[in-house]
């Protein structure tokens, strides 16, 4: 398996100079015939989509979602209204495609993007479905996004514990998706830009095989994003690779110089 390349870019935020570093990878896994995951990782947008439904429907749904959002970069519209307008177009793309007539066709969408607030920047995490964004900050890993899934609703209601969720018969049933039906806007979480922060954006093919502890372990063992995504992918495959595996790591480094 070829090593994944890390990309870098300098940014100014809050009167300081930062360097972003990021890398992404996707793999079909060991039990699937096709890869229905897609991702896009280019400044200022870093996203993962996990498709579902039909023979080719999931692949089409995730790819159309990525394509519509990628087009926002050329238009300079990577913001909440732009993203929601693009997703409305995706719903039409999916409904019109001859291989996505199944009502179950759709895709998750999750990720982060940098949003301007005057002369400042901050992160926005977005989510539809059960793909996830994690943030490692000050040696503590937290799940930024909340799954839109049946088991998450059961956990929130106190009917099952998080430990019971993995083996639950509805563990793969999501309650929101980008699909051939009326779009529900993503959930958004705003996060400040801070040196040392590391985001992991992933499909559930990763979290089926790695615990939160495992994710943090590989982050701690691999300072470079390219090395970290390769290590996590290898571990997910070694642990079974039951689904397509996709992950993007974005990290913030270097705030030693002032831009003022």
Q: So what's the pLDDT on residue 155? A: 77
Q: So what's the pLDDT on residue 53? A: 77
Q: So what's the pLDDT on residue 73? A: 92
Instruction: Measure the CA–CA gap between 38 and 141, rounded to whole angstroms.
Output: 24
Q: So what's the pLDDT on residue 95? A: 85
Pairing of the two strands 7-13 and 16-27? antiparallel
pTM of the predicted model as reported, rounded to 2 decimal places: 0.93
Three-class DSSP category at 40: strand
Cα dihedral 147, 187, 229, 106 sign? positive
Q: So what's the pLDDT on residue 152? A: 81
Q: So what's the pLDDT on residue 100? A: 63
Q: So what's the pLDDT on residue 170? A: 67
Report how far Cα 154 is from the mean position of its chain's Cα atoms.
Answer: 23
Per-residue pLDDT of the chain in tens (260 residues, 90 and over written 9): 678 999 999 998 888 899 999 999 999 999 999 999 999 999 999 999 999 976 678 999 999 999 999 999 999 999 999 999 999 999 999 888 877 655 678 999 999 999 988 778 999 999 999 999 999 999 999 999 999 988 888 878 777 777 776 767 666 788 999 986 778 899 999 999 999 999 999 999 999 999 999 999 999 999 999 999 999 999 999 999 999 999 999 999 976 444 33
Instruction: Measure the CA–CA gap between 31 and 151, rounded to whole angstroms.
Output: 23
Q: So what's the pLDDT on residue 259? A: 38
Nearest-10 Cα torsion for 29, 33, 35, 36:
-120
> Which long-range contacts (C-beta less than 8 Å, at least 24 apart) are formed by 234-240?
234/1, 235/209, 235/210, 236/29, 236/205, 236/206, 236/208, 236/209, 236/210, 237/27, 237/29, 237/30, 237/209, 239/209, 239/210, 240/30, 240/31, 240/208, 240/209
Angle at 108 between CA 104 and CA 113, to 5 degrees: 155
Instruction: Measure the CA–CA gap between 134 and 145, rounded to whole angstroms.
Output: 7
Q: So what's the pLDDT on residue 258? A: 41
Q: So what's the pLDDT on residue 260? A: 37
């Amino acid at each position: 398996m070829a090593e994944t390349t890390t990309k870098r870019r300098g940014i100014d935020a809050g009167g300081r100079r930062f360097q972003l570093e990021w890398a992404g990878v996707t793999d079909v896994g060991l039990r699937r015939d096709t890869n229905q995951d897609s991702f896009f990782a280019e400044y200022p947008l870093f996203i993962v989509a996990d498709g579902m439904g039909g023979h080719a429907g999931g692949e089409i749904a995730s790819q159309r979602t990525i394509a519509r959002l990628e087009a926002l970069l050329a238009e300079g519209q990577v913001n909440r209204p732009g993203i929601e307008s693009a997703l409305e177009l995706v719903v039409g793309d999916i409904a019109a495609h001859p291989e996505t007539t199944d009502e179950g066709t759709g895709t998750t969408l999750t990720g982060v993007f940098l949003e301007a607030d005057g002369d400042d920047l901050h992160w926005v995490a977005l989510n539809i479905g059960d793909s996830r964004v994690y943030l490692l900050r000050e040696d503590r890993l937290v799940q930024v996004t909340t799954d839109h899934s049946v088991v998450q609703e059961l956990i929130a209601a106190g009917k099952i514990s998080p430990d019971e969720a993995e083996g639950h018969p509805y563990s793969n049933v999501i309650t929101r998706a980008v699909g051939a039906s009326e779009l529900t806007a993503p959930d958004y979480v705003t996060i400040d830009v801070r040196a040392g922060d590391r985001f992991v954006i992933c499909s559930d093919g990763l979290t089926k095989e790695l615990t939160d502890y495992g994710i943090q372990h590989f982050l701690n063992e691999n300072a470079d994003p390219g090395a970290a995504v390769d290590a996590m992918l290898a571990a997910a495959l070694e642990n079974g690779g039951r689904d397509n595996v996709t992950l993007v790591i974005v990290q913030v480094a270097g705030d030693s110089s002032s831009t003022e």
